[in-house]
Amino acid sequence: MTAAATARRADPLTGAHVSFPRVLGSEWIKFTSLRSTIWTIAVTLVVMVGFSLLMAWGMSFAAEAPEGQGPPAAEGSMMGAAAVVTSYGLAQIVMAVWGVLVISGEYSTGQIRSTLTAVPTRLPVLAAKGVLMALASFIVGALGVALSVLATAPMLSSNDMSLDLGDSATLEMLLGVPLYLTGITLLALGVGALVRHSAGGIAVVLGLIIVLPILTQIPLDFIDTIAPYFPSAAGERIIMGEMTGAALSPWQGFGVFMVYVVVALAAAGVLLRRRDA
């Protein structure tokens, strides 16, 4: 009798509707309590600022010219922006690992079972993680760019490569970094939810953004045709700016990239509903 009564009392709690704000709050607590969150943010910022400084030093050294003979202002601004944004190549690796671990870590510890028991509809859990990771990755990316701009300013200005923040092309490149890193993080989240294994998820994502582009070196016409539509190649267009002869414009490329992100998250949502935890 006692056991039956307990079961009856437990059932309404298990099946009760849990609002999205409450799910978001729960995910926020988990997100902020993980030590890996702080480490990931710190590593990303250090990588972005450090590599930007290295690139700025290299470009300044190569571009040294007698006073008054530096590059034109517009060209100098683009060169300075290139020095700042190049760090995304390393930052994307850190963000990709972060995106996978946010959800695969729960599967490895078994915590996902209690999470899905509390939220039986399941999709709000993935949505909450997506919202938090999108906000966090965009803020970290934007902060990394801002710090890189400040850190490299003295070095770049001494060689007529100061960033013109009033130039739309320069701003697009700078904005492209946090947008791209946000997309990479969400793509990794989707892959992590699909694979449900940390090592496997990381391998898949790094394969997509690092190994797959290597195929462009194969001298085959059809690879040259499809290469601009690879995930990272398309996404990087938002950072590279307008390029003569490019198959995709910056925003077209970012749009193609986001299709991969949406497909990964949608597939993850479908399987999350259908598979056992």
For the chain, the domain total comes to 1
pTM given for the model? 0.87
Confidence band for 64, pLDDT divided at 50, 70 and 90: low
Q: At 80, is the secondary structure helix, strand, or coil?
A: helix
Q: Is residue 261 in some structural domain? A: yes
Q: Find the domain containing 258 and state its range.
A: 35-274
Q: Round to whole Å and give the CA distance between 227 and 10.
A: 54
Q: Is residue 18 in some structural domain? A: no
Q: Tell me the residue ranges of DSSP E strands in the chain.
A: none
User: Does the pLDDT value for residue 2 go beyond 60?
Assistant: no
Residue range 243-260: mean pLDDT, rounded: 89
User: Does the pLDDT value for residue 90 go beyond 80?
Assistant: yes
E strand or H helix at 263, and its extent? helix 250-274
Backbone φ/ψ region at 160: left (φ over 0), alpha (ψ -120 to 50), beta: left
Q: Is residue 80 in some structural domain? A: yes
pLDDT single digits (tens) 120-159: 889 999 999 999 999 999 999 999 999 999 998 888 777 6
pLDDT at 187: 98
Q: Is residue 114 in some structural domain? A: yes
Going by C-alpha positions, the residue among 123, 120, 126, 114 that lies closest to residue 12 is 120
pLDDT single digits (tens) 183-223: 999 999 999 999 999 999 999 999 999 998 888 788 888 88
Q: Is residue 21 in some structural domain? A: no
pLDDT at 5: 45
